[in-house]
Structure 1
Amino acid sequence: MLPLSFYRNLPKKICRECGCEIEEQHESYLFECERCMAKCEE
């Protein structure tokens, strides 16, 4: 197994606020999408 194949096979991240798929790297530590994070900052 290639080292990168591990990261390619990770499940897509889902925003815990709205349930949308997060468009970012899967190994990121974020749990909310940019739209929900922007709402929290207002």
Structure 2
Amino acid sequence: MLDLDFYRNLPEKSCRECGDTIEEQHESYLYECERCIGKHEE
């Protein structure tokens, strides 16, 4: 049986650039939030 408590207790992922919480998506390997990614693209 899968232990769901492990997944529920994982810390939120935060942006390594600004520290804001990143809303994680399925199979997302981003380490920066959308705003910081946009700064690099300008």
Shared fold, TM over 0.5? yes
Question: Normalised by the size of structure 2, how large is the TM-score?
Answer: 0.70
Q: Which has the larger radius of gyration?
A: 2
Q: How do residues 1-42 of structure 1 correspond to structure 2 at under 5 angstroms? A: 2=2, 5=4, 6-25=6-25, 28-42=28-42
The alpha-carbon deviation at position 27 of structure 1 amounts to 5.7
Equivalent pairs: percent with the same residue?
A: 76
Aligned residues: 41
RMSD of the TM alignment (CA)? 2.3
Deviation at 1:26, TM superposition (A): 7.6
